[in-house]
Amino acid sequence: MAKASIDAQLRRIAPSKVSEDDKLIEYDALLLDKFLDILQNLHGEALRETVQECYELAAGYEGKHDSKKLDELGNVLTSLDAGDSIVIAKAFSNMLNLANLAEEVQIAHRRRIKLKTGDIGDEALAATESDIEETLKRLVNKLKKSPQEVFDALKNQTVDLVFTAHPTQAVRRSLLQKHGRIRDYLAQLYAKDISPDDRQELDESLQREIQAAFRTDEIRRNPPTPQDEMRAGMSYFQETIWKGVPKFLRRVDTALKNIGINERVPYNAPLIQFSSWMGGDRDGNPRVTPEVTRDVCLLARMMAANMYFSQIEDLMFELSMWRCSNELRVRAEEIYRSARRDVKHYIEFWKQVPPNEPYRVVLGDVRDKLYNTRERSRHLLAHGFSDIPEEFAYTYVEQFLEPLELCYRSLCACGDNAIADGTLLDFLRQVSTFGLSLVRLDIRQESERHTDVLDAITQHLEIGSYREWSEDKRQQWLLEELNGKRPLFGPDLPQTEEITDVLDTFHVLAELPSDCLGAYIISMATSPSDVLAVELLQRECHVKKPLRVVPLFERLADLEAAPEAMSRLFSVDWYKNRIHGKQEVMIGYSDSGKDAGRLSAAWMLYQAQEKLVEVAKKYGVKLTMFHGRGGTVGRGGGPTHLAILSQPPETVHGSLRVTIQGEVIEQSFGEEHLCFRTLQRFCAATLEHGMNPPVSPRPEWRQLMDNLATFASEEYRSIVFKEPRFVEYFRLATPETEYGRMNIGSRPSKRKPSGGIESLRAIPWIFAWTQTRFHLPVWLGFGGAFKKVIEKDSKNLLMLQEMYKTWPFFRVTIDLVEMVFAKGDPGIAALNDKLLVSSDLLTFGESLRNNYVETKNLLLQIVGHKELLEADPYLKQRLRLRDAYITTLNVCQAYTLKRIRDPNYHVQLRPRISKDAPEPSKPSDELIRLNLTSEYAPGLEDTLILTMKGIAAGMQNTG
């Protein structure tokens, strides 16, 4: 077969350029050609031809959706022996990753060409891109806000991004780094002023990285520990966020200048904060022990001190001035007199700095303390103690800021403002953002675990069983204890392992520096006593600066009851005095979606937020909403800008906390320009929501939403929870049973080992349906609900169309579902049914697919499109280019599952085709030997996992 064939196929699938600057197909073809050449060099021509044959069959299917093509493709794939099928699954998985990289380069290329924002259409950017400069200009020019008002709002707002290691980061870090380099080389190859030699060298580099990625095992052979997850999350700080924050704040300064504000954002304005759950989130994760929590805090402190330390010498070089204020001169002389003479382990400035360079003297002292801070954390981490006394290191961030502020004041006093606002300002901004702890660690624990501890205490004190008391009695007792002084328990308290674990966690919180810690989040919270219990345990375990306690409401019933619970909590005087008018509440997206379907959950979350804000207002409390959104649509993900602007009016109010999970961290912070864009998007959208709130829904829209939600929830629950065949169908039609082998995260995939859909975590529930491209949890319920309200009154269709055009909340909800339909394909679900589902369930599967098609058509009517994604040609083109790879992996997955599950399914294998180039005698058996513990036939488990990873990469929304 001619080499041009895949290239030609690509051009056939996406014949027209979407715009003049559309280089996507060129990028795609270049990477693919390179990849196929590598494949041929490593595994021989026959294997390359098999890959092309699979690709052509899949591309042929995409045209007419003719299921015969899937059968033909299935025949090719099942005839491969174990080693070959691993190579082919790996090849398609790699080709998809390369297609994703080509897309990212294309997006960056288009952004560079049009820095005007009006015509950027893109799934990740949604309808509008929130450029901070545009946002400020719009607020001043169109909405007639005064520049000063805008500046005041900006100075006082806070966005806190909370990194969580969700079990969905399906790509290993070793591969992420190689992908980053492929992206860079591809972009450089197309730069304008590139010489022939450069081109040749880039070409070789590109080839090398593509080959290195292909030769890396994509499968994690051991599940990550929480410490691994934390290190992976923290690596983004070193790579992009650390330098990205001051760079972004400079852009904010520039944007302010352009609306006539000649001040910079104060360095201590908390515009952006970072927190983490990695090593603090113990809900359902027994691997997060008190020791893990202590480790990750010390590790983060060590990393932070190290990053400051590596920058401080640059600052010493820069501040070589001799003019300074008296205040600084006095300090420099003091330090000079008391200083040790020479320090030989420093590379620069190792001799004592002379007093005629006062800034360097002061910063030299800062450098010594940073060195000690880093070493002290390292000793504590390695041995549990350190010989470096605490006073030689920094314990509080104020101690660290003080000499830097002194230098800043002195420079300004001597007229060197321009110098002060250089590297020193950036450094000050880093210190105010990251502190000494890099991020603040949140602790999350389930409310039941606190109840167990208090029950043990009351039983030991022989005053009854806390667990059996009514809510009123619990509150009364907790408040008596909180107002009293006596200690509740001593070392003689009888403790189970679980109780020891909870108490040890509090003891660790007491010994860690308080700036390491953020909030204490109680999951499955339902009542005021849940919050008071944590307050009491913190006091009992001597936590010096108690953490703020944040209830998390995630199940539908809890969300409904949340406003009432908070109202009862605020009416407790002791608590009201404790919080100083500030309260944070976390709302969870995933579990509510699994309970009732996406539509009802979204509406429930909207209303719960409105009511919570009313309650807080009534009691004079400023409420911060903490959104626990996943990366995928089924778990509340989607474009940031629109997601923020679609929140109810007054719920953001200048303070927002959001979780950034799993693979979303890579999409948001994987590269410098992504990091910049993410920070900009959160800041701009938060500012805009506060100063130009979205419309409030009209009463008739609310009425219609209530009806829709009721109908949607009824249909969803009637199938997922009440249909007796459903659980069996779900287990057979999707790879849910096999999901646990992926070693994605450190958490078990079920809350309880036995049990049906209720006990399944939201993540594997969505992951399984994404794999078959049926996406059931996202759309189920929409169709039935739309149909019912339109049948009830045909005017409702017009109202739905109007809501779609004018109400951001409704628009976001519908747009996300449309995007998911564009990625879905009921033909794949039908193939899975044909191969994997028992004959008595086939009609059930078919009825679900009919529902899918009907829902899709109703949705198109409401948004007024003839076909999906009409409004977003870029996304449409990108999905079409990806489809043929994903389809091949889907077919491979279906047949592999068949071979794993059905011992009587026999296939006729053809002789091995892949050759390992250097020694033809040694075939691809080594691939099978990577996994010798599998309980399945050789090679099947790895093939399955590779298809799961590949499809996850192709869908770009795993769990």
H or E, element range at 164 = strand 158-164
For residues 179 and 97, is the Cβ–Cβ distance under 8 A? Answer: yes
Which one-letter DSSP state was computed for residue 624? E
Tell me how far apart the alpha carbons of residues 600 and 594 are, in angstroms, rounded to a whole number.
10
Question: Which tokens go with 866?
Answer: 């003839």
Whether 901 sits among the annotated catalytic residues: the reply is no
Q: Which of 178, 429, 598, 635 does the annotation list as catalytic? A: 635
CB 757 within 8 A of CB 721: yes
- Rounded to whole angstroms, the Cα distance separating 349 from 185 reads 38
**CB crowding 536-554: b at 16 or more within 10 Å, else e:** bbbebbebeebbbbbbbbb
Phi, then psi, of 163 in degrees rounded to 5: -80, 125
**Cβ pair 94, 35 in contact under 8 A:** yes
> Which of these, 516, 455, 446, 456, lies nearest to 288 by C-alpha position?
446
Q: Tell me how far apart the alpha carbons of residues 735 and 744 are, in angstroms, rounded to a whole number.
A: 15
CA angle, 945 as apex, 833 and 826 as ends, to 5°?
30
Which two structure tokens, joined as six digits, stand for 357? Answer: 């360079």
| Closest residue by Cα to residue 526 from 615, 623, 606, 450 | 450
Contacts of 926 (CB under 8 A, 6+ apart): none
Contact in structure between 661 and 168 (CB atoms under 8 Å): yes
Q: How far apart are CA 152 and CA 131, in angstroms?
A: 19
Residue-wise burial string across 480-515, b where 16 or more C-beta atoms lie within 10 A, e elsewhere = ebbeeeeebeeeebebeeebebbbbbbebbbebbbb
Distances (CA, A) of 277 to 234, 659, 660: 11, 9, 10
Q: Is 179 marked active-site?
A: no
Q: Residue 534 in contact with residue 505, Cβ under 8 Å? A: no
β partners of residue 446: 523
The 3-class SS string of 764-786 reads HHHHHHHHCCCCHHHHCCHHHHH
Per DSSP, the chain holds a count of helices (H) and strands (E) of 40, 8
Q: Which residues contact 664 (CB under 8 A, 6 or more apart)?
A: 631, 637
Minimal CA–CA distance to 535: which of 577, 473, 493? 577
d(CA 338, CA 404): 20
- Give the rounded distance of the alpha carbon of 626 from its chain centre: 14
The residue assigned the tokens 């350190």 is 386
Instruction: Please choose, from the candidates 37, 123, 7, the residue with its C-alpha nearest in 3D space to the C-alpha of residue 818.
Output: 123
CA distances from 611 to 335, 592, 625 (A): 57, 17, 12
Examine the residue annotation and report whether 635 is marked as an active-site residue of this protein. yes
Are 114 and 35 in contact, with CB atoms under 8 Å apart? no
3-state secondary structure of 521: strand
List the catalytic residue out of 48, 90, 166, 179. Answer: 166
Q: Is 289 exposed, middle or buried (0-12, 13-18, 19+ CB in 10 A)?
A: middle
CB atoms within 10 A of CB 315: 21
Spatial CA neighbour of 378 closest among 435, 309, 305? 305
Residue 397 burial (10 A CB sphere; 0-12, 13-18, 19+): middle
Residue that the structure tokens 């169709």 belong to: 783
- Angstrom distance (rounded) from CA 494 to CA 954: 52
Catalytic residues: 166, 594, 635
